Amino acid sequence: MASLRKISMDTIKISSVTAADILQLQSIGSKTFVETFADQNTADDMQSYLDNNLSFDKLTDELSNPNSEFYFATLDNIVIGYLKINYGPAQTELKEKSSLEIERIYVLQEFHGKNVGQVLYNKAIEIAKQRNAGYVWLGVWEKNPRAIHFYKKNGFVEFDKHIFKLGNDEQTDTMMRLQLL
């Protein structure tokens, strides 16, 4: 499917996730989360997160929220990553009308460094601009230097910290923002 070099951004397709896609969303969400964080967390904490945050019922609730949106990134009709954005009251913290939260950008490990995350990020920024958001914000685990570098490269700056609970483990996320207006 993909070689070791970057994939042309034009070949990565972005599509809205619908209720009919819940099982596929659950599958890509679980797989990418485990690939990204399993080696730095206990199996129990990982399973607790998956059970509580990526369950069929939880994803169904999130997908039905009018202030949240999910998008798949596909290559050759295969889902290789996804994006979740929130605005207004669906945001996990700030909940400001003038902001948009990127809650999740996850890409299958074999596609890291091949433009997939950038295409999903670009979709989030496009939506933020369409909604006239003054800024975009997110939280990224302080022990995820790859993601922190990605967001800094795209103009985000750190502005705070918050606690992210993974199972029984309280972890520190770096909060970052990108001013748009």
pTM of the model: 0.94
Q: Is 121 a catalytic residue?
A: no
pLDDT score for 2: 46
pLDDT for the residue numbered 5: 67
Domain 9-179 belongs to what architecture? 3-Layer(aba) Sandwich (3.40)
Burial (CB < 10 A; 0-12, 13-18, 19+), residue 16, is exposed
Mean pLDDT for the chain overall = 95
What residues in the chain have per-residue pLDDT under 70?
Answer: 1-5
State the burial class of residue 134 (Cβ atoms within 10 Å of its Cβ: 0-12, 13-18, 19+): middle
d(CA 140, CA 105): 10
Which residue among the candidates 49, 87, 121, 151 is catalytic per the annotation?
151
HSE of 109, CA atoms in CB hemisphere, 13 A: 9
Task: Convert the pLDDT of each residue in 73-117 to its tens digit.
Answer: 999 999 999 999 999 999 999 999 999 999 999 999 999 999 999
For 100, list phi and psi in degrees, rounded to 5.
-130, 135
Straight-line distance from the first to the last Cα atom of the chain, in angstroms, rounded to the nearest whole number = 39
pLDDT for res 181: 85
